[in-house]
Amino acid sequence: MSTFQAPKGTYDLTPPRSAMFLAVREAISAPLRDSGYGYIETPGFENVELFARGVGESTDIVTKEMYTLTTKGGDQLALRPEGTASVLRAALEANLHKAGNLPVKLWYSGSYYRYERPQAGRYRHFSQVGAEAIGTEDPALDAELIILADQAYRSLGLRQFRILLNSLGDKECRPVYRETLQTFLRDLDLDEETRRRIEINPLRVLDDKRADVQKQLTDAPKLRDYLCDACQAYHEEVRALLTAAGVAFEDDEKLVRGLDYYTRTTFEFVHDGLGSQSAVGGGGRYDGLSEMIGGPELPSVGWALGVDRTVLALEAEGVELDLPATTSVYAVPLGEEARRVLFGVVTELRRAGIAADFAFGGRGLKGAMKSANRSGARYTLVAGERDLAEGVVQLKDMESGEQSAVPLAEAAAELAKRLG
């Protein structure tokens, strides 16, 4: 074993399980690519201030969970703990919002980092696929993103997930609710850290998972009772569009999410088979984030879905993805001349788009056939000196066990025909 191991709270993705992660990323991004979203990639680290301003200085992410570092030049950087602030920063820097085609629709995939207590479904390094629609305030856009995430999960075969939905109001109506909530919370029996949170961001107290806190929140004022007419109408339109699309959701008035930038629509995808880490993804509208990080007014909405947790959800439901075999044809040469000839056939197959592999290392027939079996190949090509003298190769169907001689010159065409 190596002297070194992956850092605590991280993981390595290795075959064959890594194929499942790739399939999940592909399934989540496919509906986005079909709906006008272009791919964006941002650095793994950003200026600390971007997340302090954007995510919120009072959030656990910024105060406790960010990995920060000081460069040799004295700059304060942070490994990205989430994707939205980075994507919006990149879109503003590239002036994508000035191209005249709003909303700017972007999707991304990558690794994110938070210093958390490792447990099943919660890692210090995790993978997400996300989507952002920047520059337009439209309930249809909120509904579109929720519908696309629902479509992605259903295409994977997931069924036991739920969509929680809420509205957090806007800068017109939320301050009134905030004040009312603060007055209520100040009278509760809470620890000092939670009391500090009441003054900075009282909505986050509603998200506290501790049973003794939740018990005291039973009679807390409801945000929905304080929504202004505009926010109420907006939320009802999102609900109506989802219902018309046949997407089931549950209203959850305590859903606030862990980031300060959300306004109006907020939602979460949860899976009951995952225990305490039940959220597999979520997002919402963030109409003020652009201004928070120094940009113009750009109402926007987005989500991020956890690849790691989606894989755990699939395993919890017992869903087995139909993953294509990494190898369709495996070539087994017997002798030096056969090595040269079959290597040429393998190269030809690959150029024709057929997944092919080769028995490297000069192993004997028995060992090479074991490798062919482990590779999952549907067919093996075997050739020795006598076969080459006759101008043929032996083509074996690994499922039926049937073997037949095929002219060497026609081997690639024959395999292409059999594999469709």
Task: For residues 314-337, give the mean pLDDT.
Answer: 92
Pair 401, 282 in one domain:
no
Q: Between residues 116 and 139, which one has the greater pLDDT?
A: 139
Task: For residues 46-67, give the mean pLDDT.
Answer: 78
Cross-strand pairs, 168: none
Pair 105, 248 in one domain:
yes
Number of domains in the chain: 2
Pair 359, 299 in one domain:
no
Query: Is 57 a residue whose pLDDT tops 80?
Result: no
Task: For residues 288-317, give the mean pLDDT.
Answer: 94
Residue type, 296: P
Q: Between residues 319 and 260, which one has the greater pLDDT?
A: 319
Pair 244, 347 in one domain:
no
Pair 341, 271 in one domain:
no
What's the mean per-residue pLDDT of the chain? 91
Give the residue among 140, 390, 164 at the shortest CA–CA distance from 245. 140
Query: Is 59 a residue whose pLDDT tops 70?
Result: no
Q: What is the pLDDT of residue 253?
A: 84
80 lies in which domain range?
A: 18-173+227-317
Q: Is residue 368 part of a domain?
A: yes
Pair 404, 372 in one domain:
yes
User: Considering only 89-103, 188-202, 336-350, which range has the smallest mean pLDDT?
Assistant: 188-202
pLDDT grade for 217, boundaries at 50, 70 and 90: confident
Q: Is residue 322 part of a domain?
A: no
pLDDT grade for 299, boundaries at 50, 70 and 90: very high
Residues 115, 65 contacting (CB under 8 angstroms): yes
> Which CATH number characterizes residue 371's domain?
3.40.50.800
Pair 269, 386 in one domain:
no
